[in-house]
Amino acid sequence: MRFAGNAIWFILGGAVIALYWLIGAVIFAISIIGLPVTRAALEMAKMSAFPFGKDVVHVRELDRKELSKTTAATGTIGFIANIVWLLTFGWSLCVLYIFAGILNCITIIGIPFGIQAFKLAGISLWPVGRRVVTKELAQAARQSNAQDQLAAIRENA
């Protein structure tokens, strides 16, 4: 089912929106300062081309580092990169996804595609620090983090 959904999505517009992400990645790759945005745009291009069976998680859900230990994607540089992305490509991608979501939700058959478009609309505004992984890996990472949080709460109780 994932293959069929991805094939239909790719043909009916996913390729075009993924290409827009790739154009943004190339523009930001030209400058050295734009490399965190380039990585995020490449990750989101993968998701935009074939979204079914994948999920987007924050890098902190995968690396399990403490919040005090920042990286380029999660610290001040990532915040500034997200602001720059939002003001350049983010808002236009969000509008594209919302438009695609509304068009897809007009028909009953298109509702799953519309839901994917709306999910991608939110991610397109703030992509730096996000990674595209399989749904199973995202669920395992979230479950592991939840177990760690529960253990920490039990220790403090």
Where along the chain do its domains lie?
2-156
As a whole number of angstroms, the distance between CA 136 and CA 95 comes to 29
What backbone torsions phi and psi does residue 72 show, to the nearest 5 degrees? -60, -30
For residue range 45-73, list pLDDT tens digits in order. Answer: 999 999 999 998 888 888 766 554 555 55
As a whole number of angstroms, the distance between CA 156 and CA 121 comes to 39
As a whole number of angstroms, the distance between CA 157 and CA 150 comes to 10
Give this prediction's pTM: 0.80
The Cα-based distances of 61 to 37, 56, 64, 131, 146 in angstroms read: 19, 10, 6, 10, 10
Q: Please say if the pLDDT value at position 26 is more than 90.
A: yes
Q: What's the pLDDT score for residue 68?
A: 47
Q: Are 118 and 100 in contact (CB under 8 A)?
A: no
For residue range 94-139, list pLDDT tens digits in order. Answer: 999 999 999 999 988 889 999 999 999 989 999 988 889 999 999 9
